Amino acid sequence: MSWLDFFRSTRKPEPAAASASAAKERLQIVLAHERIGRTREDFLPRLQQELVAVVARYVAIDPGKVNVNLDRGGDLSTLAIEIELPGPKAAVRTPAAAR
Amino acid sequence: MAQVIVVTSGKGGVGKTTTSAALATGLAQRGKKTVVIDFDVGLRNLDLIMGVERRVVFDIVNVIQGEARLSQALIRDKRVENLSILPASQTRDKDALTKEGVAEIIEELGKDFDYILCDSPAGIEKGALLALYFADQAIIVTNPEVSSVRDSDRILGVLQSKSKRAEEKREKVKEHLLVTRYDAGRVERGEMLKLEDVREILAIPLLGVIPESESVLKASNTGTPVIMDAESVAGQAYKDAVGRFLGDELPHRFLDPEKKPGILKRLFGGRAA
């Protein structure tokens, strides 16, 4: 390696510094979702509420133990609702569960 | 009929007021009778950027509330003919602006002026909504940066749903993209969104690109719209933008880093390139 290479390398852009493409990708995804939302109201909060309400009709659940995760992707979005169900002991006292 | 143009962005600090001052001055320099209105009630700054802060007696709120006539509140620029400024109120809050009041002012100004520029406050609250409500055309000021591009997209949505033209289902507000604080060096190094990226994402016609320039701060320090600094790249870029707005066909400039060969390059010639 010649000493000249030292100067040469400093003139090339570092690939790690190319954050602009990350900016573009993130913008395209977030805006694709926001543009859809412009024409109709944001239904997600209601969807969550209603889903949880339906489950609560059959199983006694702790509202504090409901986890909602949304991942908005480019081609595919996932909505994951995780509801922790009580163990058999707690379930026995509800009439619906005691056959 | 006067054309009403809103200068807006959603995000703050991207250069709306700098742009309003420059474009209004540029239009007046081209012989168009132009008035520029500051809609940022409570946080007025257009007067400072235009260098008329010591001449403000009445403001837009005084006119709306009948405390002063419109002609008393208008400040005529002393450097450029055909240019007037209507300042915002510094003491009232945004609720002092009403749709009816603004409508009356714009109608009256429309009799005397060719162009009415509305310098919008940041955000999408009342002041910003009123600034864009009467617009025939919109200049969307955007920095090549994620939050600014997102907010520009949002404000385009607001223009398409909440402007008077949208409400009356008339032809939509004509949109122009103005990219400001563009640093071609950082773009080349991959650190900043490219002009093409911003254009592709927002998908509206490009009016101009204003390069990042020290002359903008210098202009605001002295209260001289940067377009009057014909030496500066920002001033020239604004001048081009005014030209394009009036139909001139001009190529976009200042999109590449300034080529200043460094000392190494000069010493070693082409070998270090």
How many C-beta neighbours within 10 Å does residue B208 have?
26
What pLDDT is attached to residue A66? 83
Listed residue (B158, B60, B45, B139) closest to B103, CA to CA: B60
Mean pLDDT of the A67-91 span: 78
End-to-end CA distance of chain A: 82
What pLDDT is attached to residue B216? 97
Mean pLDDT of chain B: 94
Residues of chain B that touch chain A, judged by Cβ-Cβ distance less than 8 Å: 145-146, 149-150, 153-154, 157, 161, 187-194, 197, 201, 264, 268, 271-273
Mean pLDDT of chain A: 75
Whether B253 shows a pLDDT value over 80: the answer reads yes
> What 3-state DSSP class applies to B36?
strand
Buried b (16+ CB within 10 A) or exposed e, B15-52: bbbbbbbbbbbbbbbbebbbbbbbbbbeebbbbbbbbb
Whether A14 shows a pLDDT value over 80: the answer reads no
E runs forming strands in A1-99: 66-72, 77-83
List of chain B residues whose C-beta atoms are within 8 Å of the C-beta of residue A4: 268, 271-272
Q: Do B162 and A38 contact (CB within 8 A), yes or no?
A: no
Let me know how long chain A is. Answer: 99
Mean pLDDT of the B73-85 span: 97
What pLDDT is attached to residue B273? 41
Residue A78 corresponds to which tokens in the numbers above?
């996932």
Mean pLDDT of the B85-92 span: 91
**HSE-up (13 A, CA, CB side) for residue B247:** 1
Which residues have CB under 8 Å from A22's CB, separation 6+? none
pLDDT digits (tens, 9 = 90+) for B172-209: 999 999 999 999 999 999 999 999 999 999 999 999 99
pLDDT digits (tens, 9 = 90+) for B223-248: 999 999 999 999 999 999 999 999 99
What pLDDT is attached to residue A9? 52
Residue type, B261: P
What pLDDT is attached to residue A87? 76
E runs forming strands in B39-173: 75-76, 83-86, 115-119, 137-142
Residue B168 corresponds to which tokens in the numbers above?
């009356």
Mean pLDDT of the B114-127 span: 97
Secondary-structure percent of chain B, ordered helix, strand, coil, rounded to 5: 45, 15, 40
Distance CA B74, CA B104 (A): 15
Q: Do B15 and B181 contact (CB within 8 A), yes or no?
A: yes
pLDDT digits (tens, 9 = 90+) for A40-73: 666 777 888 888 889 889 988 887 888 888 787 7
What pLDDT is attached to residue A77? 79
Closest residue to B201, CB basis, from A7, A17, A31: A31
Mean pLDDT of the A68-88 span: 81
Asked whether the ipTM of the predicted complex exceeds the cut of 0.90, the reply is no
Whether B137 shows a pLDDT value over 90: the answer reads yes
Q: What is the percent of chain B with per-residue pLDDT over 70, rounded to a whole number?
A: 95
**Best to test chain B binding among A8, A14, A26, A27 (most B CBs inside 10 Å):** A27
What pLDDT is attached to residue B144? 98
Whether A16 shows a pLDDT value over 60: the answer reads no
CA torsion through residues B71, B74, B78, B81, sign: negative
Q: Do B38 and B119 contact (CB within 8 A), yes or no?
A: yes
CB–CB of B188 and A27 under 8 A?
no
**Best to test chain B binding among A5, A24, A29, A42 (most B CBs inside 10 Å):** A24
Residue of A nearest to B156 (CA): A35
What pLDDT is attached to residue A35? 86
